[in-house]
Structure formats: C-alpha cells, structure tokens
Amino acid sequence: MFGNDAEILEIVGYGFPKRIYLRRNHFEDLDNLTFFQRFRLTKNAVLNILPLIEEKLEYPTDINNSLSPMDQLLTCLRFYATGGHLSTISDFMGTHVCTSSRIIKNVSIALASLFHAYIKMPTENNIQKIQRDFYNIALFPSIVGCIDGTHIKIQSPGGEDGEIFRNRKGYFSINVQVVGDSDLKVQDIVARWPGSTHDMNIYSNSRIRARLEGGEFRNGIILGDSGYGVGKYLLTPLQNPETAAEKLYNKAHITTRNSVERLCGVWKRRFPILAYGIRLKLATAYAVIVASAVLHNISISMHEEEPPEPDINADEFENLIQVGNIPEVINGDNIQGNVRRNEMINYFNRLL
C-alpha cells in the first residue's frame, strides 16, 4: 500500500515493469465531513463545478488507466488544500508524480478560464445593490468595491529576473491585486506582478483603474489602504485625522474596507496553498491563484461554509496568512482625489 490510499501493481513485460495504480474512489468512499476536510469543498460543490470544465479534461480513450475528470479535479483540489509536495498528492490520489503535476496544471488552467463568468465587477443590473450593501456597513456612499494587495509565496523563479520576485520581507512572491465586494467575493484580480512591485504601480497599470476613470461604474468609488495614492475614484484614509468629521470618515473607511481583508483571509483559509506557498512553475502558479479565486466565488455563491483549519497549530496558520500582508504607505497628492475625499468628509460632517 502507498499511504493507505493507493496500491501499485507491477507487471513485467518487454523487459521492464509496468506500474498500474489501483485508486480509491474518494468521492464515494469518504463521508461528507471528511471529504470537506480533505478537499475544502463539499461534494455538492464539486458536482456543480465538474460540468463546467469536464469537456476540457476528458481523455479520448481509457488507455493507460487514464484519470476521469472527477479524479483530475480532486487531485487539483487536494493540492490546493495542502500545498504539499507532489509526491504526497500522488500517494493520496494513486498517480505518478508527473501525472499529478500535469493534472494540476491542466485543471488550474481550465478553472482559470472561467474567470469572466465568475469574477465580475458590478454591472448595471447589480451596481445599486453592491453600493447599498457597502453603505449598510458604515454609511459610506457610492462604494463599488474595496482593493488590496496580498502576497502569495512562490519558489524562486530563477533566471535573470528571478530577484524581482523577492519582496520587502525577503521571500519570493507574486503581489496579487484583489478587488472585493461586501459578500467577500472577488470582483477583480490581477495575478502577474512580481513581489517587489508596489501596490500603487499595479493599480496604475490595471484595467480596473481605466474602467473606473472611464465612468463605467456610475462615478463609483473603491476604497484602498495607505499603500495607494488618493484619487478621484480611489479613496484612502487620512494619515492624521484631526476633526470629528475626519475621524468619522476614517472609521467608516476602515470598517468598510475591512471586507477585502477578510476576503483574503477566507480565501487563503479555504485553499491553504495560498498561505503555504506555491511550489510550481511561475505560469502554473498564476493559473492556480486565479483558479482558486474562481472556486472561492463559486463557494460564496453556494453559501458553502468555511472549511476547518488545516491540521497545524491555528496560530501558526494565521501567521502564514498574515505573512502575505506587507503594509506600505504612499504620500500621493492628487488634486481631484483630495477634492473627492473632502467631499466625503463633508458628507460625514453632516452625519454628526
């Protein structure tokens, strides 16, 4: 037996042994709770996700004991759930290490391709609801999303440009820009910038900035922390609030923006690989990040519970999550942004 999960038979032929992996049916064999713990999604969620990518995972024949789309999806989910070595995933699923590596890449790309269907900024149909939901948090008007950057640890990409992925805390990472709503859904994600890149540089070169400045969201605003420069469509907190209105503005800003920080925490707890670090090639790591965001949004839509903590000390895992937070402060002086922020401060002054 291999890890009590996969049995390997060796059949001698043509002068060398051929390995045949006898695999467990994890979907049928595991009870609902154990399945949820092992794969971070319920069986019901898996059954709803599989048809979305099944055609892309089907093998043309069953030659060489090929894996079914279900087993491929579970292999990928198990990797997201553990962030472990590929050999550990292979032992659990009953596959060769090379097979597991190839499957994780293919399934991640297939899931990431669902990006436009499941990761969306507000539209004409729901923008009022989005703004109302944010308003109900702390009476902050016109908000269509909250933005933050979170670092996902990776192995060194190597090569001439490898060092640009080393962030200010000294480890290699991808600085991922996330815009989220009040339901903790990912509305927009940018997962391609090296860890040394400043949050503001990512935002300045992102499509979401162009869409905001193009008036696509009815003059709506997003909230960001002090790592961003204040702008007409991106409001940041005041560094040194003095008046009662400024303090109320800051309190409402921080309370409302907390939703994106909670989003990143829930996302990483749901898929611990984002906290442990991704030990795959860079292109595959990008796909894993976007794919896990798609799965996170599907989970939120299906009202899935947050999975239990992984089998390590809770404080230790929480520290892993916090490692991705690298606070930065930027002193941006944008005239339109300051005007917009002062308008909001006057609004909160009227609430006093």
- Given a cut of 80, whether residue 123 has pLDDT beyond it is yes
Does residue 1 sit within a domain? no
**pTM for the predicted model, two decimal places:** 0.90
Residue 28, class by beta-carbon neighbours within 10 Å (0-12 exposed, 13-18 middle, 19+ buried)? Answer: exposed
Percent of the chain predicted with pLDDT > 70? 88
Phi/psi of residue 233, each to 5°? -115, 5
Considering the domain boundaries, does residue 76 fall inside one?
A: yes
Please give the pLDDT value at position 332: 64
Confidence class for position 17, pLDDT limits 50, 70, 90: low
288: closest CA among 88, 181, 93, 153?
153
Cα 25 from Cα 11, distance rounded (Å): 23
pLDDT of residue 310: 66
pLDDT at 209 over 50: yes
Rounded CA-CA distance 107/55 in Å is 11
Cβ–Cβ under 8 Å, residues 319 and 153 = no
Q: Report pLDDT for 304.
A: 94
| pLDDT tops 80 at residue 318 | no
Question: What mean pLDDT comes out for the span 241-253?
Answer: 96
Query: At 160, is the secondary structure helix, strand, or coil?
Result: coil
230 with 236: CB under 8 angstroms?
yes
pLDDT score at 4: 43
| Domain count of the fold of the chain | 2
Give all strands (DSSP E) within 63-208, no chain letters: 143-153, 173-180, 186-194
The reply to whether 103 and 242 lie within a common domain is no
Out of 53, 86, 113, a domain closes at: 113
Q: Output the pLDDT for position 317.
A: 65
Pairwise CA distance, residues 89 & 307, whole Å: 19
Strand runs (DSSP E) across 45-155, as ranges? 143-153
Cα-based distances in Å from 123 to 32, 103, 146, 211, 220: 36, 35, 16, 12, 12
Q: Could you tell me if residue 323 is inside a domain?
A: yes
125 and 105: one domain?
Answer: no
Does residue 137 sit in the same domain as residue 211?
yes
Range of the domain at 106: 7-113
pLDDT of 313 > 50? The answer is: yes
How much is the pLDDT for 349? 95
Q: Residue 159: which region, alpha, beta or left (left: phi > 0; alpha: psi -120 to 50)?
A: left
Domain end position, chosen among 67, 89, 113: 113
Q: Is 16 helix (H, G, I), strand (E, B) or coil?
A: strand
Residue 284 lies inside a defined structural domain of this protein = yes
Identify the domain boundary among 113, 136, 152: 113
Phi, psi angle pair for 222, to nearest 5°:
-115, 155
Shared domain check, 165 and 128: yes
Q: How far is CA 310 from CA 3, 47, 73, in A?
A: 19, 23, 20
Res. 141 pLDDT band, cuts 50 70 90: very high
